[in-house]
Structure 1
Amino acid sequence: MIDQTVSQVSTVTLLRFEGLNTFWIFAQMQKAPKKFAKVLGLTFFKLMGSGGKNGFSKMLNVNIYALHCVWESEAYADEFMQNSKTFLEFRNRTSELYTIFLKTTRAHGLWSGTNPYETQEIKPTGPIAVITRARIKLKFLPKFWSKVPSLGKKVDEVKGSIYSIGIGEYPWFMQATFSIWESYEAMHNYAYGNPLHMEVIKKTRELGWYAEELFANFIPYRTEGSWGNLDFQLDKLL
């Protein structure tokens, strides 16, 4: 049983904007963090844009953004999403919004100089979510981007993959991925059984592509809203 009331909870909210609201959210990349910094119970947050196609592209997607938050408890997350004027404005300006509630089972590395996650001893028996994040050294940008688009395309073709998207705080050199898998085994088989993915891991270790990196596993346990057919696919597994 997952105790979500008194222990740390993470959320990933996917947001889709259309028309003039794409200009509004672009401006919020600079404005919103000041508001989030004052939210009670919010210990870590990142508002991120996405790349073209499924996010693994050098071209920006001006329509899709992701808000990742780490909360002291689920109660703080609910209070923010139900009563905050800041989140209400986000909700009112989106054409589609979907929040996934997560518990961390594994996390190593740093994100902006810290590891924000408290891991819990929960055995994954259903779907699993993964966040990988890296700050790429400028001199390695060409080599990194020669590999990532092909790698991203392959993720969608892998058995057991439910959803994946490339997101980031800043275009091209601060990159993160968020992916959801039917099981831990499906994720593990891709991570260590895909030749292209293994090549990227090898190059990363040999050349030191990243100035900072983080890898985290989560168990999704609750969702709110809708996102294409992702909510249908994921909710039937929860």
Structure 2
Amino acid sequence: MLLVTLPAVVTLHLWQVSTHAIPRALVHMVADRRPLRRTPGLRFAKLLGTGSGRTFTVRDADPRQWGLLAVWDDPIAPMAFQDSGLPARWRRFADEEWVAHFEPLSARGLWSGQEPFGKPRPRVFEGPVAAVTRARLVLRRAARFWTAVPPVSADLHEAPGLRMALGIGEAPLGLQGTFSIWDSSSSLNAFAYGRSPHTAVIERTRQEGWYAEELFARFAVRSSSGTIAGVDPLGPGPR
């Protein structure tokens, strides 16, 4: 009998809250871990703080914006989750919610010792794509990493084809990541491999061994709903 393995379904929730609701969001970042572990169909999940990603230090953090990155066994599980208690509780006090669904196109590396997005066979996708980078820093080398980041981040935010870029992390320091959305694979490739600030940092990473663990993944963007900071990054209109 031939067993067919369905590709992972990846979702990202982003919630924006008012200043007075920040303490409530912080409570949820701790309290929601247990119910997440009991969620049917959930393979992997990380509750995330977000920020500008300009320096990957605590001064980048945006305490008004929080996220949940999740990997699911099938397309039905995230649909059921969206109507469940955890997102509903966030919606009670969040000013905005943005939810996007992705399909992995490629993935390399580990996150908390796991391969959360599996091992998809790399392929071409015509349409908007998303990218996640994530690393656990070697702490004694963190200072060199932080000095190298600002030129790359400044270049990222000016890159043609970029729709959205966030810093993401499970902790204020030492666990660094980015989430970005691009018009196309070609625009993402142009930034990743064709712009000197980024390629220079890639070379330094190899030479200096900044990371104890790292992961790079890209995704086909399948759908999105809602807004964050007043816009849908995948919606029509100027960006």
Which SS does the other structure have where 2:115 is aligned? Answer: coil
2:110 aligned partner: 110
2:158 aligned partner: 157
2:168 aligned partner: 167
Aligned length: 228
Q: 1: CA distance between counterparts of 2:234 and 2:209?
A: 35
Q: Deviations over 1:130-182 (max 9, x none)?
A: 00000001011111111223322221111111110111001121011000111
Bigger Cα displacement from structure 2, 142-151 vs 35-44: 142-151
* One-letter amino acid of the counterpart of residue 102, structure 1: F
4+ residue runs of structure 1 moved beyond 4 angstroms?
none
8 Å CA contact retained: 2:16, 2:229: no
Q: 2: CA distance between counterparts of 1:174 and 1:121?
A: 26
1:56 aligned partner: 54
TM-aligned CA deviation for residue 129 of structure 1: 0.4
2:149 aligned partner: 148
Q: 1: CA distance between counterparts of 2:109 and 2:185?
A: 20
Bigger Cα displacement from structure 2, 211-220 vs 87-96: 87-96
Q: 2: CA distance between counterparts of 1:9 and 1:104?
A: 7
1:10 aligned partner: 10
Percent identity between the two aligned chains: 32
Residues 127 and 230 of structure 1: is their aligned pair in 2 closer, same or farther, counting only changes over 3 Å?
A: farther
Q: 2: CA distance between counterparts of 1:185 and 1:143?
A: 30
**1:138 partnered with 2:136:** no
- TM-score normalised by length of structure 1: 0.90
Unaligned segments of structure 1, at least 5 residues: 1-5
Residues 91 and 204 of structure 1: is their aligned pair in 2 closer, same or farther, counting only changes over 3 Å?
A: same
Residues 121 and 50 of structure 1: is their aligned pair in 2 closer, same or farther, counting only changes over 3 Å?
A: closer
- TM-score normalised by length of structure 2: 0.90
TM-aligned CA deviation for residue 114 of structure 1: 0.5
1:3 aligned partner: none
Q: 1: CA distance between counterparts of 2:217 and 2:11?
A: 13
**1:209 partnered with 2:210:** yes
1:39 aligned partner: 39
8 Å CA contact retained: 2:106, 2:123: no
Unaligned segments of structure 2, at least 5 residues: 1-5
Which SS does the other structure have where 2:234 is aligned? Answer: helix
8 Å CA contact retained: 1:55, 1:61: no
TM-aligned CA deviation for residue 36 of structure 1: 0.4
Q: 1: CA distance between counterparts of 2:23 and 2:98?
A: 20
Q: Deviations over 1:178-211 (max 9, x none)?
A: 0011111111011111111111101110011000
Residues 93 and 219 of structure 1: is their aligned pair in 2 closer, same or farther, counting only changes over 3 Å?
A: same
Q: 1: CA distance between counterparts of 2:54 and 2:50?
A: 8
* One-letter amino acid of the counterpart of residue 200, structure 2: E
TM-aligned CA deviation for residue 109 of structure 1: 0.2
1:28 aligned partner: 28
* Aligned CA-pair RMSD: 1.7
TM-aligned CA deviation for residue 80 of structure 1: 0.7
Which SS does the other structure have where 1:129 is aligned? Answer: strand
Residues 121 and 155 of structure 1: is their aligned pair in 2 closer, same or farther, counting only changes over 3 Å?
A: closer
